[in-house]
Chain A
């Protein structure tokens, strides 16, 4: 492809320059990048780009208004400024421009790529105008264009193929299977997580959870205001109460075990553990966690009203 793009030693040919100007209008192609890099260092090509830019400017006018009589001459006189010395590249471009505008475009044949894109309706308006004008004047390019047009027409009438009968039904059936597998999986996941399923559910769960936590905090605060009631003392009291209750139940075996030395050592250890602040904190955390889970189970089972985010219906 590069062979018909930069035909003389890296310099930009007319196609490349026109692509570049198209790119300025937003039709950016990958090949314009290398053209841009070349252009940055090459004064000759810069001059030719300027010349083409002027042609494009005039062609813009041509599209919008019917060209007035002697249009070509006016364009040419507008570009040719008396006394201005033309650089060689610019002079060369000038010859091309004059030939094109005056309809003598014998040496400006269209490249295969350009003809293809013209046949495919893929040229920008400027390029299409240039191509149309050339083809109208050049039998050679006209017949090459006709070849591309025939090829495209042949392709465009090719039939589309239908899949075997019942394809749509098979797709719908398979899709339903896939969907069921997927929702089955997500339902199972949700059962394990026991998470609220709507914003309102989250608010309810939060409120209910914070209530027992607040109650627990209040009790703890109250206990801390009573100096006689230390954590250890409270635990001892609870322990005695439990032992009395067990004795009252007539469980002599249990009572015997409790009154033995082993029971006393276990009690001492428990008393020590209970008295440490870390244990108190861990107990509080465990209590809170228990509260959370019980509230969530409650929430799941009582089934508080859920705010459905998206209701799927068939």
Chain B
């Protein structure tokens, strides 16, 4: 019964988990807690919210474990669940200032004003301090200013290393749209980094 779970493939882990083995769930958690949390964190840019959403993503994944389709990668599946939760959260929270999405050029000054407001805000909590430093780098700031559709494809492609096909499946969008989003996202990033 003593299995070395670390050497077991994702799909096999899912089978073991569906049989009710807690160690299999734990191994899936240890494999995906960082990637899932990182993706959500870079999308919502708040540690507390990101943790809540990541926890919910794992619970939903675990509860649905016997509906997993082994034809697809487990990572695609869990990222799909995590992304859906994140999008729901962002939609609920959406405020008028974010509707500048349509005009990418107008983003920078406003976004800068917003960022400086956050940094100067009355007494940072230790958590806020950490997170302002974590996401304060030039490139992180540039990623944060991308509109959400662009940001998520960049994160899935260049940080998580998913293929274009996997991204299309995770986001439920056509392959051509993935390519277009990536193209525009990288072009915007390049522009912002050149300005900085």
Q: Write the residues of chain A forming the contact surface with B, with a CB cutoff of 8 angstroms.
A: 1, 27-32, 112-113, 116-117, 120, 122, 147-148, 151-152, 154-156, 158, 160-164, 167-168, 170-172, 174-175, 178-179, 182, 312-314
Q: Is B20 a contact of A178 with CB atoms below 8 Å? A: no
In the bound assembly, the distance between CA atoms of A162 and B177 in angstroms comes to 30
Going nearest first, the 10 A-B pairs with the smallest beta carbon separation are A29-B176, A30-B176, A155-B158, A312-B20, A160-B38, A163-B37, A30-B174, A168-B29, A161-B38, A160-B34
A-B contact count (CB 8 A): 113
* Contact flags B130-169 to A (C-beta < 8 A → 1, else 0): 0000100001100000000000001001110100100000
- Do A164 and B193 contact each other (CB < 8 Å), given the known contacts A29-B174, A156-B159? no
Residues on the A chain within 8 Å of B19, using CB: 312-313
Within 8 A of A (CB), among B35-56: 35, 37-38, 41-42, 47, 50-51, 54-55
In the bound assembly, the distance between CA atoms of A174 and B51 in angstroms comes to 13
Task: Give the distance to chain A from B188, nearest Cβ to Cβ, in Å.
Answer: 11
Among the stretches B57-65, B86-94, B107-115, the one at the interface with A is B57-65
Q: Write the residues of chain B forming the contact surface with A, with a CB cutoff of 8 angstroms.
A: 19-22, 25-26, 29-30, 33-35, 37-38, 41-42, 47, 50-51, 54-55, 58-59, 62-63, 134, 139-140, 154, 157-159, 161, 164, 174-177, 179-180, 182-184, 186-187, 189-190, 193
Task: Give the distance to chain B from A86, nearest Cβ to Cβ, in Å.
Answer: 32
Given contacts A161-B134, A172-B26, A175-B58, 5 further A-B contacts (CB under 8 A): A28-B176, A156-B158, A164-B47, A167-B54, A172-B29
Task: Give the distance to chain B from A118, nearest Cβ to Cβ, in Å.
Answer: 12
In the bound assembly, the distance between CA atoms of A158 and B160 in angstroms comes to 10
Q: Is B29 a contact of A171 with CB atoms below 8 Å? A: yes
Q: Is B55 a contact of A174 with CB atoms below 8 Å? A: yes
- Do A148 and B58 contact each other (CB < 8 Å), given the known contacts A1-B184, A172-B26? no
Task: Give the distance to chain A from B156, nearest Cβ to Cβ, in Å.
Answer: 11
- Do A120 and B63 contact each other (CB < 8 Å), given the known contacts A29-B179, A112-B183, A162-B33? no
> Closest residue to B54 on the A side, CB-wise?
A163
In the bound assembly, the distance between CA atoms of A174 and B59 in angstroms comes to 8
> Closest residue to A122 on the B side, CB-wise?
B164
